[in-house]
Amino acid sequence: MLGIGAYRPKRLITNDQLCRVMDSSDEWIFERSGIRARRWISGDETMRSISAAAADRAIINSGIDRDKIDMLILATSSWPWNVPHGAPMIASDIGINGIPAFDVAAGCGGFGYALGVATDAIRAGTANYVVVIGVETMSVGIDPTDRSTGFIFGDGAGAVVVGPSDVNGIAPVISGSDGENADAIMQNHDTVEYMARAVEYQTKDPETDPVGRLIITMEGPRVFRWAAITLPKALKRMLTESGAGPEDIEVFVPHQANARINELMKKNLGLPDDLPMANDIENTANTSAASIPLAIEEMLATGKAKGGQLALILGFGAGLSYAGTVATLPPAPKISSFDDLDDSDAGPLALHLAGIVD
């Protein structure tokens, strides 16, 4: 990873603000998740604009000439269109139109899957320099009154430039899935069903028979149990395949889904208590496919980690699926997502989030 860039939406939503519409409290949310706040897109911010901003910063921070980028991979599960897919538009937006550009949809593990595709493409000679983006606008698909999911998700975008190196900076990506538990995290209606529902409900009174919205549902305890059983084995396999031992790991970057799960994984791996571990979840929440690059960028930008350190990285969630690797961290970003980040410049939230901010 030669460079990293990120974009964090301007609008910060604290637990106290969210609890204006949700029957909960800051203390209850933090104790169960480790989340104090999250950022949601507002005003003219879109998934397309924040993806382009993160990718542009990653290219600038990498120092690689833009015309040398010959592939772009967009990891997301919340791109607003089924057709066209997002990557070609992002490539055009950042001035590299015409290159191979495609999307990867693998939930919270999406960035890891995309990183694996990028590294394999470079090793095979299919590409030389690849931009990998993880992005989500999870706020679009949540019910802010739902105590099981409304507080969990945030928005954001992170990107890295992957390129050739004299030493192996990214070990083989280890991944897996469990379709038997797919419905533990899912959309409440499939898209075809929802389109039929929209037609049917056109003749009904929206006051008594609202068509409703497409939202994310999750069985938190079920996902927690799956993670507790599956992920320790996956992490050990990552270490084995990379040739590294726990004593070689200098930074731990787990998916930012739940602080309790992350502490449990760190303990089970036998990593030292003082070993730096990403905790971007506290003020960013769970940004799904954007979680890993955002967490890495936060650690580098704040000095909690340094470029060149060896990191154990793991994303996991919807699918259920996971993907991770052992990798050398890129240099600290010259342009970070925290530069000039001011909540006062934020615009209005989407209509379904009304009542959360003044």
Point out the catalytic residue in the list 15, 19, 61, 255: 255
Give the distance, in angstroms, between the CA of residue 180 and the centroid of all CA atoms in the same chain: 23
- The span from the CA of 330 to the CA of 310, in Å, is 10
DSSP state of 37: E
Looking from the CA of 333 toward its CB, the CA atoms found within 13 Å total 30
Residue that has been written with the tokens 């542009």 in this structure: 56
Residue that has been written with the tokens 């934020």 in this structure: 346
Find out whether 291 and 111 touch, Cβ atoms under 8 Å: yes
Point out the catalytic residue in the list 19, 61, 108, 258: 108
- The span from the CA of 64 to the CA of 61, in Å, is 8
In the residue annotation, 286 being an active-site residue is answered as yes
Report in angstroms the alpha-carbon separations of 228 from 151, 209, 244, 265. 22, 40, 22, 8
In the residue annotation, 19 being an active-site residue is answered as no
- The span from the CA of 330 to the CA of 350, in Å, is 35
Q: Which residues are catalytic?
A: 108, 255, 286
